Amino acid sequence: MSSDFLQSVLASCVALLLLIAIMGVVYAIYSSVKARKKRDYFADLHKNLKSGQRVAFAGGLLGTLVRVGEETCDVKIKSGDVIEVSRYAIQEIEGK
């Protein structure tokens, strides 16, 4: 095989590896920014929990906060029952 052909193949491989490396860096930066936004959202959400707020859980359960503690919250659901849940299970404050 000619040396020009081998140099061309080598140059193509190097260019492909550089492209893959650049794509990896862009993906890592994108993932980091997205994770930071999500972490900040949940930190703000859990800091601002108050009794009387309507909240949603990851599983689709909805309820109204009755008591907000350090680690758990009491939530009144539609049937009128009050359940105790981890405050970190709350995914959204309704109407916010």
Let me know: does 91 contact 57? Beta carbons within 8 Å: yes
| Same-domain status, 6 and 41 | yes
Span 50-77, pLDDT tens digits:
999 999 988 888 999 999 998 999 999 9
Alpha-carbon span 76 to 54, nearest angstrom: 9
**Domain assignment of residue 2, given as a range:** 1-47
| Same-domain status, 68 and 87 | yes
| Same-domain status, 19 and 38 | yes
Q: How confident is the model at residue 41 (pLDDT cuts 50, 70, 90)?
A: very high
| Same-domain status, 28 and 39 | yes
Q: What is the mean pLDDT of residues 8-35?
A: 94
Residue 1 has pLDDT above 70, yes or no: no
| Same-domain status, 24 and 7 | yes
> What are the residues facing 55 on neighbouring strands?
63, 93
| Same-domain status, 34 and 60 | no
Q: Count the domains in the chain.
A: 2
pTM of the model: 0.66
Q: What is the mean pLDDT of residues 15-36?
A: 96
Task: State whether residue 76 is helix, strand or coil.
Answer: strand
Residue 3 has what pLDDT?
80
